[in-house]
Amino acid sequence: MSTITTEARPALSMLSEDEAMFRDAVREFAEAEITPLISRMDETQQMDEGLIRQCFEMGLMGIEIPEELGGAGLSFFTSVLVVEELSRVDPAVGVLVDVQNTLVINAINRWATDEQKARWFPRLAADTVGAYALSEAGSGSDAFALACRATQDGSDWVLNGQKLWITNGNEAGLYLIFATVDPDAGYKGITCFVVERDFEGFSVGKKEDKLGIRASSTTELILDNVRVPAENILGEIGRGYKTAIETLNEGRIGIGAQMVGLAQGAFDHALRYVQEREQFGRPIAQFQGVQFQLADMATEIAASRALVYEAARLKDAGQDFVVPAAMAKLHASRTAQKVSSMAIDLFGGYGFTREYPVEKLYRDSKIGSIYEGTTNMQLHTIAKSLLR
């Protein structure tokens, strides 16, 4: 029988030689260094500290940071490739790197002054994890219904409130925190502040006990009269809504890449298994019903990958990518759930146990339809564009 190999990825023709080499290096790193840690990190709900250090040493935590400031000086598209390859092995590690690059570094790249970049980028490239803190208890899809308040006191600002669902909350040393300076101004009162972990009054609160991506910390942040100097404002006062919207549009491409990687990982596991598992005297891969499932999975993954890559290329080219990003995240999150579910079906009873890796990938897949814009919000963005 002619089988679909794990290298059957039509969209790979879109990669340059340098991009392909970088992707391959990340793939080798992920398979060698992350694979042995997956089960333990998932069970303990803790990202391995040594693995985080290795991500910094590999240059994966500062992909778009200029070389002169300690980073790799590469493209947004390269960040997408990295997130995909890490997520193919463990989506929890993928999102650690994704938030660092597509949210935190992207926001600073676009909105920070040269002085701010010189202060923060060398740290983010070398050893400091970043977190992006927009969500609150009453602020989810309605992202700008913020209760977190910033009050000016002399040249400083004092922040009070709580943030929820903050990825990298436990590991981060630098937090992009959105607060309102004028509740009566609505979204035009929102401002982005860069808060250091050791600022007085700042603390990391409850860590969520989650269904999937359990090694990725998702925490509450508590701000109790946190004094932030004016030089730590990112962008303009009252223009934080623009920082948030534009950064999240880019971040959705990263989540699309995470979901593509997850789906590819589940497919790879299933493809190997069906060629090893025998029933009725032959490998189950020889049955046409199984072959059709493999073909369906591979096609969905290729379609999602093409959407994600196109959105990333548009972003790097400075072209409008908002709707392509929404489509990419929408399709990829659905693909991840579908493919990981089908992988469990192909594994049969074994797939329902924690002895095999597809069970974890299935749990991990659900978050793709929730964070950085729910499925309904992506549908709204696409439909609004169609009807404009």
* Average pLDDT of span 6-31: 79
Query: Which pLDDT does position 141 carry in this prediction?
Result: 84
pLDDT above 50 (res 297)? yes
* Average pLDDT of span 38-63: 98
* Average pLDDT of span 42-48: 98
Query: Which pLDDT does position 14 carry in this prediction?
Result: 74
pLDDT above 70 (res 91)? yes
CB atoms within 10 A of CB 16: 9
CA distance 298 to 342: 11
Query: Which pLDDT does position 85 carry in this prediction?
Result: 98
Query: Which pLDDT does position 3 carry in this prediction?
Result: 39
pLDDT above 70 (res 5)? no
Q: Give the pLDDT confidence of 150-159 residue by residue, as tens digits.
A: 999 999 999 9
CA distance 95 to 90: 9
* CA 102, 196, 117, 234 torsion-angle sign: positive
Query: Which pLDDT does position 145 carry in this prediction?
Result: 87
Query: Which pLDDT does position 8 carry in this prediction?
Result: 45
Q: Are both 131-238 and 242-387 of the same fold?
A: no
CATH, domain 131-238, list 3.40.190.10, 3.40.630.30, 2.40.110.10, 3.30.565.10 = 2.40.110.10
Q: Give the pLDDT confidence of 163-195 residue by residue, as tens digits.
A: 999 999 999 999 999 999 999 998 899 999 999
- Which of 84, 85, 250, 372 is catalytic? The answer is 372
Here the tokens at position 211 are 């269904």
Task: Write out the H or E segment, with its range, that includes residue 386.
Answer: helix 375-387
Closest by Cα among 102, 135, 156 to 221? 135
Query: Which pLDDT does position 142 carry in this prediction?
Result: 86
In the chain, domain spans: 10-129, 131-238, 242-387
Whether pTM > 0.75 for this model: the answer is yes
278 in active site: no
Identify the CATH number of the domain defined by range 242-387: 1.20.140.10
Q: Architecture of 10-129 per CATH?
A: Orthogonal Bundle (1.10)
| Band of residue 4 on the pLDDT scale cut at 50, 70, 90 | very low
Query: Which pLDDT does position 252 carry in this prediction?
Result: 98
